[in-house]
Amino acid sequence: MFYILLLFISWSALSANSLHSQISDLVHSSHEFSASSKEIKQKQEERSIIEGKRLPTLSINGYVGKEREKYSGFDEDYTKKELSFKISQALVDFGYQSNSESMANINVTQGQLTQQILVSNLIFNGIESIINLAKSRLILNYQKDKLVNLGKQIDIIGQAALIGGESVNQQKKIIIEEQQNQVYLENLKYDTISAEITYYQLFKSKPNANLNIPSKPSSYLPKSSQEALDYFIQHAPDYQEKQLSVKAMHHHHQKNQAAAFPTITLTADHTISSNVSQFGQKEKIQSVLVNVDYDLPLSLSTLNKLNSSQASLEKAHEEKLSFVDKKQIEITQAWYKMQAKDQAVLASTAVLKQAKALYDDKISEHKKNNISEIDLLKSEINYKQYVLNHKLETLSQISAQYELLNTISKLDLAMLMDG
């Protein structure tokens, strides 16, 4: 039982520190996500207000007061009371209400789509921050190893120079190289600190020694640039948002058209009034009326509104087409960038294999005393350079894959469960 509990605790700690958990915390703790959620709620409330206008309205009016009538031969005080109930229901508005409701629904949906785009961008920013920090650390650690390697070479040459085995000039040359690399190291330290600051700003915590490097999202990647474009047109929230913008402008135009027609309303009224005096009077009035309200335009404002909304509709359509053209370029570029990174990793893998074989040969040669310690050290640092290059290319490949997914707005938190 103790071991089961220990295993559960270990699993819980691992789960809490997983990439999915880390990115999920980043998304849901961001101010942008919070603001987006509140905006969606605001739009939902506005939709409810507009939908409520379809229901009938009930008005209750009443008053009580004293009146006095006085004239020749007559002087009377009496109390006057009245209570009125009125119910009104719009019968015909030529689509004004239905178009208002459609626009309100679109506003809510657009808010939700905008939040999906935001989540995709936040996920990508988090992944990029982790990858950039990992790259900075790899380069920094390699540079430290290189300085240690150069230090060993200087020591060996220094000892050999004392007995005439190596020249002083050769020693000075390596010392200069070490100093140059020390300057480079200081710049790399700043790059790493900068990457850590970016990481902290996003995740609100200091990065651990072991980062949650995302795995390759192979199963989510499109198989071709055309498939990426097709997915964008069929599923991407930013494309759907642009489509809805055109639809919203269409409803707005229809709403302006409806406003140019009269509104027909059914009104039922029930009024009770009484005058309490020596000649007590009570009166009831009931009515059912069909009202036609029409504001006669005294200017060209109605026509101007229609022309304006028509222009807005045409503008939204052109903006959608322009957006699609721009996105097609971005998606195509992201696709070929990913392809280039895939090829770079393959080439790097082949180079690393050859470099490993060469380094192993150098080790064997050194054991046989066929090469010097200096040559082995140089071979070692060259091999580590190839190892570094391969790791950097692999990280760049992963970054390019997630960049493509973000370009077509396919990134979501569920995807990171696999990593």
Residues 158-172, mean pLDDT to the nearest whole number: 69
Look at 263 and 374; give whichever has higher pLDDT.
374
Q: What is the pLDDT of residue 253?
A: 85
- Report the alpha-carbon distance of residue 330 to residue 228 in Å, rounded: 11
* CB distance 154 to 176 below 8 Å: no
Residue 88 has phi, psi (to 5 degrees) of -125, 140
Residues 122-151, mean pLDDT to the nearest whole number: 96
Residue 406 in this model has a pLDDT that exceeds 60 = yes
Least confident interval from 70-74, 111-115, 330-334: 70-74
Which of 409, 41, 352, 97 lies closest to 238, judged by CA?
Answer: 409
Q: What is the pLDDT of residue 75?
A: 66
CATH 1.20.1600.10 in the chain, residue ranges: 19-55+93-260+297-418
Query: Which CATH fold would you assign to the domain 19-55+93-260+297-418?
Result: Outer membrane efflux proteins (OEP) (1.20.1600)
Q: Which of 11-25, 26-40, 95-109 has the highest mean pLDDT?
A: 26-40
Q: What is the pLDDT of residue 109?
A: 94
DSSP-assigned states of every residue in 91-133: EE-TTHHHHHHHHHHHHHHHHHHHHHHHHHHHHHHHHHHHHHH
Q: What is the pLDDT of residue 15?
A: 41
Q: What is the pLDDT of residue 128?
A: 97
Mean of pLDDT over the chain? 86
- Report the alpha-carbon distance of residue 246 to residue 250 in Å, rounded: 6
End-to-end CA distance of the chain, in Å?
30
Residue 308 in this model has a pLDDT that exceeds 70 = yes
Q: What is the pLDDT of residue 401?
A: 97
The pLDDT > 70 percentage for the chain reads 88
Query: Which CATH fold would you assign to the domain 57-92+262-296?
Result: Outer membrane efflux proteins (OEP) (2.20.200)
The distance from CA 156 to its chain's CA centroid, rounded to whole angstroms, is 56
CATH 2.20.200.10 in the chain, residue ranges: 57-92+262-296
pLDDT digits (tens, 9 = 90+) for 49-80: 988 888 888 888 887 877 776 777 666 777 77
The pLDDT > 90 percentage for the chain reads 58
- Three-state secondary structure call for residue 32: helix
Q: Within a 10 A sphere around the Cβ of 249, how many other Cβ atoms?
A: 22
Residue 72 has phi, psi (to 5 degrees) of -55, 115
pLDDT digits (tens, 9 = 90+) for 239-265: 999 999 999 898 888 888 887 777 888
Residue 165 in this model has a pLDDT that exceeds 80 = no
Residues 363-391, mean pLDDT to the nearest whole number: 94
pLDDT digits (tens, 9 = 90+) for 322-331: 999 999 999 9
